[in-house]
Amino acid sequence: MFDFEAYLRGVIGELKDEGRYRTFVSLAKIKPPYVETEYGLVTNWCSNDYLGMSVHPKVCEAAKITLDKRGVGAGGTRNIAGTHPEIINLENTIREVTEKESSLVFSSGYAANEAALAALGRVLPDCVFFSDEENHASMIRGMAASKAKREVFRHNDVNHLRELLSGYPSSIPKIVVFESVYSMSGSFGDLVPLIETAKEFGALVYVDETHGVGLYGEKGAGLCQELGVLEFVDVIQGGLGKGYGVIGGFIAGSNLIVDTVRSFGSAFIFTTALPPMVCAAANASVRHLSESQTERALHRRNVKLLKDKLKGLSVLKTPSHIVPVMIRDSFLCKQISDRLLNEFKIYIQPINYPTVPRGEERLRITPTPLHSEADTDHLVSSLRAVIPQTIQLAA
């Protein structure tokens, strides 16, 4: 008989031997960026709550009011009992902010990508996806689930994309899929030439703005809005749990595209809807960031401050708000993370394979508007104390 316990023990043992075994630290927010842990009060430097909107008074108040009025759960999927006024209001706000005809909310950004890409690839006859090689796992999963053909172009390589597109007749439906902000490298998608090339070949453009919405654009609709190319993007996908500080995901596009995903997206159809209080909180966050520039201005100031102070360390030079400090060794990356927590009360999770390629292990730092200059100085001095001199300059 097959020994399940022994086999799985070996699988987990391999993770531990390679230094890739993940451990979780319980983080109880007190006043961000400070959290209470078993190690005492620590400063969180790796949260995806990029703007601190999870504790914004408007967001919290919206959740409290709606909780008292509607209770906790949604009551079912959207088709059964989960279509409530708060989710409709949220979709209307997203539609306005993204300047699209329609939008659809999901339980997560992952579910949004999986459902949308799987539905489009399955419905469109002989559809071919053209996917950036660094696209997120949720996008890859959605394309795979559709069973449509997928061509992979080198990261941000417009010439390679053009070469692949030119290999298919104009009668074949094509979808070019890429991200605006790549969350582990901090790089931007080369949006303008990628979109222009896709349109030249009559392809739909699908952009994952999960790490861009809230943070970029006059209304917070993302990098596409900031660069003035939003009107040329057919589907914008975004997250509600990062720049917006709540939870969930969405797509926005034409009425027909969104209706197709609503009608054929399994991850949408068979998933319980987001609760009213969550949708109300998300709506308050999206609405606030469509009108306020304060959070984005403070955020960019703090990102620049940290990047300036980190000069001389092995930091990837990125245009975004994500600051990767390269370690390039899984054991060392975990060791540095542990020392930062135990000795300096700084929380930064190590980023190891398979999230990044082997040899590309890193600490992924995400400044927020809530970090003080004193927090930044403490982080920089602590990093210099724990990162070996031999790799401090090896960016």
Positions marked active-site: 242
Sheet-wide strand order for 350-351: 323-326, 362-365, 350-351
| E strand map for 192-255 | 204-208, 235-239, 249-253
| E strand map for the chain | 28-31, 34-37, 40-44, 102-106, 128-132, 149-153, 174-179, 204-208, 235-239, 249-253, 323-326, 346-347, 350-351, 362-365
Q: Cα angle vertex 313, ends 310, 318, to 5°?
A: 65
Please tell me whether residue 67 adopts helix, strand or coil conformation: helix
Q: CA nearest 214: which of 249, 162, 185, 173? A: 249
Scanning the structure block, which residue is given the tokens 């890193």? 362
Q: Is the peptide bond before 276 cis (omega within 30 degrees of 0)?
A: no
Residue 350: strand pairing partners: 363
Q: How far is CA 115 from CA 82, 111, 235, 262, 323, in A?
A: 18, 6, 13, 9, 30
Sheet-wide strand order for 40-44: 28-31, 34-37, 40-44, 346-347
Counting every residue written for the chain, the total comes to 395
Which two structure tokens, joined as six digits, stand for 390? 């031999």
Number of neighbours of residue 254 by Cβ within 10 angstroms: 14
Contact 242, 52 (CB under 8 A): no
